[in-house]
Structure 1
Amino acid sequence: MPAKDGSAVADLGQRRASFQRARSRETKRELVQGAMAMWRTKGYATTTVADICAAAGVSKALFYFYFPRKEDVLFEVGVLSTQSASRTIHAMLDKPYEIDAVLRAALTAFERSMARNPPELIIETILEGYRHEHRILAAGGPPDVDADMFTELFRRAQADGKIRPEVDITHLAYVAQTLVSEGARHWAAGAFGDRAFADVVTADICTFITGSQRS
């Protein structure tokens, strides 16, 4: 049997690695979906890791390979909502845009994601996001890029002259994300009444951007 050349071996290795990454993402997605299904029906506090594994059809050992704690699945749910909003932003930057319109579209996508879940779960997700951030910062690590929704938009807006060049984009994105988190928590608690989450938080972020650009 002829020996495989180096390029063939490398290609096979790359395909195997791609397959394993795709399989890993799918398993992680199934765990998140299983957790969400249990939390919506049984509630967050009373759902155990064993419940999540049964819903996802995986072993507890596999669960702990991906998530050290049940709470880490909760954080992953928040990340997925953030990434959905980020994809909306990215798509809108391919054509002429205004900051407020992009913000409102992204936050509308975020609101749709939240609306599928009970208020208790939304609030727990926000609180776990804060705890996750605290653990990272306490360990001296950088902010989690997966939780960043706005840096791409604000950098692009600054490059296009819509945000003044001296504005600290990293800080602006951080404050905007904090407004989203606090807005989500208050929205879930019913503090916004009949007002849409996207409308309220878009106005808050635009007000902050306007203030940050004053001389």
Structure 2
Amino acid sequence: MPEPVKGLRERKRLDTHRALATTAVRLVAERGLDNVTVEDISAAAGVSPRTFFNYFPSKEDAVVIAHADNAERSQRIIEKFLATPKEVSTPRAFVDALKEDFAQVDENREEWLGRMKAIHDNPTLHSRAVAMNHDTVAPTIEAIARRTGLDPEADLYPTLLLSTLGGVINAALRHWYQHDGRVSALALLDEAVDLLLAGLPEPGGRAR
């Protein structure tokens, strides 16, 4: 499903958000979170602190929120997921739906390495990153339930699948970060999903 065409004002809003986010990540990677202020980020991005606060409530948010249209991106992923043919397994359909967004990790390697280092080094950023996705959890569980014909509250599968796939995504990103982004994040995601769908067989074929 193609992205909707955006007007000039909306593109400018998204571009300004991106400029502030990438600047925040770069400065925090260079100096550390405690040594960077909102004023530093604003000056480096060429805007006023007042403009900064039109986009982010804090410097922490500027580091973890890569895109202004995060909610819309999540909705598009759900729509792609629900539109995937039924022949495709539900876990694979979900991962395939988010690949376009996930590809940006590879396309913006230095930015994401800096963001992940900042999150790794600062527990408050990790908590903020988790909280950022809170509003997408219930709609995603409902979408999984809809695709599988289950009840999102009565049946365990939708919630379990989302939690499991979240672990798959985090494992792929962690491995990518540990290898300094020298391997493809998308390839790692595919490998992780394949292992999951195969039942996570032990390497070397050891018996259970």
User: Which category describes the TM-score, using the shorter chain as reference length?
Assistant: 0.5 to 0.7
- Are 1:62 and 2:51 counterparts? yes
- 2:126 maps to a residue whose letter is Y
Q: Which runs of 5+ in 1 are unaligned?
A: 1-21, 137-141, 209-215
Distance 1:145 1:190, change over 3 A: same
Deviation of residue 33 (structure 1)?
2.6
- Are 1:121 and 2:114 counterparts? yes
The percentage of counterpart residues that share the same residue type is: 21
Q: State the distance in 1 between where 2:102 and 2:168 align.
A: 14
Instruction: Say if 2:91 and 2:165, in contact at 8 Å, map to a contact too.
Output: no
Deviation of residue 105 (structure 1)?
1.9
Give the structure with higher Rg (CA): 1
- 2:109 maps to a residue whose letter is N
Quote the residue 1:198 is aligned against: 189
Quote the residue 2:149 is aligned against: 159
Quote the residue 1:112 is aligned against: 103
Q: State the distance in 2 between where 1:205 and 1:82 align.
A: 27
Q: Which runs of 5+ in 2 are unaligned?
A: 1-7, 200-208
Q: State the distance in 2 between where 1:160 and 1:167 align.
A: 9
Q: Which runs of 4+ in 1 moved over 6 A?
A: 22-25
Instruction: Say if 1:111 and 1:197, in contact at 8 Å, map to a contact too.
Output: no
The alignment partner of 2:194 has SS state of helix
- 1:167 maps to a residue whose letter is L
- Are 1:44 and 2:29 counterparts? yes
Instruction: Say if 1:148 and 1:173, in contact at 8 Å, map to a contact too.
Output: no
Aligned pairs, number: 178
Instruction: Say if 1:77 and 1:125, in contact at 8 Å, map to a contact too.
Output: no
Q: State the distance in 2 between where 1:204 and 1:78 align.
A: 30
Deviation of residue 153 (structure 1)?
4.3
Quote the residue 2:42 is aligned against: 53
Scaled by the length of structure 1, the TM-score of the pair is 0.58
Q: State the distance in 2 between where 1:201 and 1:83 align.
A: 26
CA-atom RMSD in angstroms: 4.3
Scaled by the length of structure 2, the TM-score of the pair is 0.60
Quote the residue 2:16 is aligned against: 30
